[in-house]
Amino acid sequence: MKEVHPLEKRYPVSAQDYKLYEEVGDGVSATVFRALCIPLNEIVAIKVLDLEKCNNDLDGIRREVQTMSLIDHPNLLPAHCSFTAGHCLWVVMPYMAGGSCLHIMKSAYPEGFEEPVIATLLREVLKALVYLHAHGHIHRDVKAGNILIDYNGAIKLADFGVSACMFDSGDRQRSRNTFVGTPCWMAPEVMQQLHGYDFKADIWSLGITALELAHGHAPFSKYPPMKVLLMTLQNAPPGLDYERDKRFSKSFKEMVATCLVKDPKKRPTSEKLLKHHFFKHARSYDYLVHSILDGLASLGERFRLLKTKEADLLVQNKALYEDKEQLSQQEYIKGISAWNFNLEDLKSQAALIQDYDDVSNAEDQGGSRKQMDRSDVDGLSEERMSPETVTTSIAAASQEDRLGLHDLEGSLTSFPIRPLQALKGCFDIGEDDKGANSSNGKGFTGSESEQLIIKSSRAMDQNAGKNESEDSRQSSSLPRQSIPEYKMFSGSLMPDNTFSSRKVTGDENRNFPQLKFQSDCNYSGPLYRQKRETNNTGIPDNASESAVVQRGRFKVTSADLSSKGATNCIFRPSTGGPSPNVTASAILPSLQYILQLSTVQREELIRLIKYLEQTSGKLGDLTEVGTNELLQSEQHSMGLLIPPSSARERELQSQLFQLQQRIGDLARELQNQKVKNLQDIVL
Ligand SMILES: Nc1ncnc2c1ncn2[C@@H]1O[C@H](COP(=O)(O)OP(=O)(O)OP(=O)(O)O)[C@@H](O)[C@H]1O
């Protein structure tokens, strides 16, 4: 019997003509079922989208269905038909019995696939991209989760939920200037949103997908989206590492490197990439069946097991992080996709950047860092080895990165295009955001950094138990009076090494304890460079925010910035005033302390003036100004500026002057000798 082409088949458009079986997948907005098309007696997959839960992204859904029903390519998943059933949209499509590559990896290949498997999969995906690009489409969500395999090893690229048409005009054209896709796979130009982007964005995602298939997970996959953004923008592009990825060929490494070039113009087109010699390693569909599908449980069964595993992990994570922000761990497990949350979500996400994901990401970082050392593969992309890239990457990968915030701050100041600024252009920013943000003329709004800092500090303060010992150790080296003020700076905000002895004793020429205190305060200086000036109440504008927010895919608890959170208060002595985040109760001890010191200084000054009036001219023989200053400061510290009251006292004081003068002479002589010796060595 002649097989009917799917496009010629008439699939019924009524729910009662289908029998839903088990669940075989779920995504951001949909659940996918294996189903039977009763009239045709054919197994199909039905994607059920709850329109009430789609965040009003009906346009995206319409686009997906439209694209799916128009495409006709063996490597693209088509839609047979679609219809509404209650408040749900049903999309009927071919059933891909192997499921997605991501599912296969999760259930049987957690360390990734072998190279010939990857070459075979990617070659088919590339063919799909060649077709899409030639027809003016950008897929925008290429990733292992969207590469589906059939029982016979056939490969189809799925999920056109965020695809865009290059020939669109008006609103649809504008959608290409929006921020869609999945952060880990997203090209830097899509994140930056400076000049728009084109189909080369898919080539970047393909490169990331190659790494995903090689390692079992995408680079940075365990970081929250905000951090993924910053790392993608500021780090060297990820790649295969010579050390870690010894099992992969040079041509594979090269192919990945050609895709992951930050400048889209330097990336190959899909057509050109398809000719890369790496794809010579690609095999047949049969090969895929034997190498990865054979022995796998049914898709439904695998999906059920994965769900159970996810649920267990969720319970474990909940127990681990119960005391921390209630971040939806499930979003991480699923893999974050199609993020449609706004800037507030990002800020909240950034606030949650903590070191709980260090272990896994040490690996990612390691890959990225080590990769920079190599030279042959990177010959393909000189930007990888540019000094800036190396510097920023090393900086990002440094130990300070452990604190997330430092990383964030560093990137905000060092990255030429401020990611947050870029992000602002890409998100729906609520009215409250617009009102609150006043530009500081540096292309970056202070309120963003400010809130990130506050929230981050709060999130990190929750590690107080962990940081406490460090804090008390550091505090003990400070003058006693400084300790309460020092604690106010929320030590966890600052990298350990900012408390270097150099900085702590930075003002050692001056003997007042409050100077050390100032020096400590200045450590937070860079954090406030871009702070906006707000009200003088010391209470943040958004102090009342304290709610569990459900936005897009993320459920976050916004940081409690109410006045009771005074431990996060920040003092800014360098500009002479408290930061807008300082609350009265927190700053009071500092003010009292300063007042106390000022009184002591004032009394001392009065005594000094009196003494100078009495003794003017008596020190005339000490001609050198420097020596005078030295002596006076010594005398000051020894309480000798009080006029001598007996002959013996005068005699002793005179001897002391002579001795000090002699010490000064010897010190100068020693210095001269040192300089001379040094010159001899150099010459
Ligand atoms: N035709 C199909 N046959 C078999 N499994 C499928 C099919 N379509 C989708 N799936 C499975 O369901 C999962 C979710 O589907 P899909 O990606 O379309 O949903 P989504 O809501 O758009 O998800 P996301 O945006 O996270 O990619 C896929 O990752 C895949 O494992």
Tell me what pLDDT residue 149 has.
Answer: 98
The 3-class SS string of 318-352 reads HHHHCCCCCCCHHHHHHCCCCCCCCHHHHHHHHHC
The string of pLDDT tens digits covering residues 84-141 is: 898 888 989 999 999 999 999 999 999 999 999 999 999 999 999 999 999 888 888 8
Confirm or reject: Cβ of 27 under 6 Å from ligand 1.
yes
CA of 345 to the centre of ligand 1 (A): 25
Q: Ligand 1 center to residue 224 CA distance, Å?
A: 22
Does ligand 1 lie within 6 Å of residue 150's CB atom? no
Q: How far is the CA of 47 from the centre of ligand 1 (A)?
A: 8
Q: List binding-site positions.
A: 47
Q: Max CA-CA distance within the chain?
A: 128
Q: Which atom of ligand 1 is nearest to the CA of 100?
A: 31
Alpha helices in 427-553 (DSSP H): 431-436, 446-461, 464-476, 482-488, 501-504, 513-521, 525-528
Interior angle at CA 478, CA 476 and CA 484, nearest 5: 85
Q: How far apart are CA 448 and CA 453, in angstroms?
A: 8
To test ligand 1's pocket by mutation, which of 29, 47, 93 has the most ligand atoms within 8 angstroms of CB? Answer: 47
Specify the pLDDT at position 662.
Answer: 85
Which of 149-163, 208-222, 295-309 has the weakest average pLDDT?
149-163
pLDDT at 674: 76
Residue whose CA lies nearest to ligand 1 atom number 11: 25
Taking only Cα atoms into account, the Rg of the chain, rounded to an integer number of angstroms, comes to 33
Ligand 1 geometric centre to CA of 341 (Å): 21
| Residue 681 confidence (pLDDT) | 61
Q: 574 pLDDT exceeds 50?
A: no
Q: How far is residue 83's CA from residue 61's CA, in Å, rounded to a whole number?
A: 12
pLDDT in tens, 578-619: 444 445 555 555 566 566 666 666 666 767 766 666 665 444
Bridge-partner residues for 549, per DSSP? 556
Tokens of 443: 């292309």
Phi, psi for 50 (deg, rounded to 5):
-80, 105
How many residues would you count in the chain?
Answer: 683
Catalytic residues: 141
- Here the contacts of 174-182 (C-beta below 8 Å, separation 24 or greater) are 175/59, 176/138, 177/426, 178/426, 179/423, 179/426, 179/427, 180/140, 180/141, 180/338, 180/340, 181/140, 181/141, 181/205, 181/338, 182/141, 182/143, 182/335, 182/336, 182/337, 182/338, 182/339
Q: Which of 302, 311, 319, 321 is nearest to 224 (CA)?
A: 321
Beta carbon of 117 within 6 Å of any ligand 1 atom? no
> Which residue is closest in CA terms to ligand 1's atom 13?
25
Task: Report the alpha-carbon angle 624-627-633, nearest 5.
Answer: 140
Burial bucket for residue 452 (CB in 10 Å: 0-12, 13-18, 19+): buried
DSSP 77: -
- Cβ of 32 closer than 6 Å to ligand 1, yes or no, is yes
Least confident range from 23-37, 137-151, 436-450, 516-530: namely 516-530
Please tell me if the CB atom of residue 104 comes closer than 6 angstroms to any atom of ligand 1: no
Closest protein CA for atom 4 of ligand 1? 96
DSSP 113-151: --HHHHHHHHHHHHHHHHHHHHTTEE----SGGGEEE-T
**Dihedral (Cα; 620, 625, 626, 628), 10-degree rounding:** 30
